[in-house]
Amino acid sequence: GAGVSQTPSNKVTEKGKYVELRCDPISGHTALYWYRQSLGQGPEFLIYFQGTGAADDSGLPNDRFFAVRPEGSVSTLKIQRTERGDSAVYLCASSRDRPENTGELFFGEGSRLTVL
Amino acid sequence: AQSVTQLGSHVSVSEGALVLLRCNYSSSVPPYLFWHVQYPNQGLQLLLKYTSAATLVKGINGFEAEFKKSETSFHLTKPSAHMSDAVEYFCALAGTASKLTFGTGTRLQVTL
């Protein structure tokens, strides 16, 4: 597609449930990022993939969060045993190159997760 | 560690007035700096970026920003505000790591 696609756009779940959020990056972009944006805050880094491997997962808050990118394209963010504090907009971005190499990040519209 | 501070979570200006959104950064290496804009219920779009080529950077929609190393600042300006500028703006930094660190955002209000 022309841009970064994220599904679902909205997800409402109950506390303790398992959730998967999907990101389809721009074709040819090797770098893929997940960010989390809570209400009234800026995006917070979660994880960065270069190709299939997680180059930096230092932003994942705990072991309930996990992300994969098995074929170097589509990525899935997985959240186990969801908590109310996980409620946020999860943003995915892709880039042809790294930010420090002035690679521009292209963001999807986000997946809004609400944990009841 | 790298960080970004945006002064003022809300800024209000009159239509036609100067827009000034403040951003200060902290980085142990020469930074690359970005301003993004976020429209309601949408992802972030790049407004402009500083990559050390020139300290005054021009972006889309008449916005520009000036990198001042001595002040560790990268403030965003626009000479004349328009109603359509009333959205949220995020300053971001790429420093030591292959990721962007964002500020907390500034929501711009434009009044008649």
pLDDT digits (tens, 9 = 90+) for A4-38: 999 999 999 999 999 999 999 999 898 999 999 99
d(CA A37, nearest CA chain B) in Å: 10
Tell me what pLDDT residue A104 has. 81
pLDDT in tens, B72-87: 999 999 999 999 999 9
Instruction: State the Rg of chain B over Cα.
Output: 13
Is residue B102 over pLDDT 60?
A: yes
CB A90 within 8 A of CB A8: no
Q: How far apart are CA A89 and CA B27, in angstroms?
A: 27
Helix ranges restricted to H, chain B = none
pLDDT in tens, A56-101: 999 999 999 999 999 999 999 999 999 999 999 999 999 887 666 6
pLDDT in tens, B8-63: 999 999 999 999 999 999 988 888 899 999 998 788 999 999 988 789 999 999 99
Question: What number of other Cβ atoms are within 10 A of residue B8's Cβ?
Answer: 12
CB contact under 8 A, A56 and B9: no
**Which chain A residue lies closest to B5 (C-alpha atoms)?**
A42
Nearest of A11, A3, A77 to residue A47 by alpha carbon:
A77
A33 vs B: CB within 8 A: yes
CA B100 to chain centre: 13
Tell me what pLDDT residue A100 has. 62
Q: How far is CA A109 from CA A4, B99, B111, in A?
A: 8, 19, 27
Tell me what pLDDT residue B96 has. 62
Q: CA geometry: angle at B37 spanning A69 and B29, to 5°?
A: 70
Paired residues of A31 in beta bridges: A50, A95
Q: How far is CA B85 from CA A9, B77, B105, in A?
A: 25, 12, 14
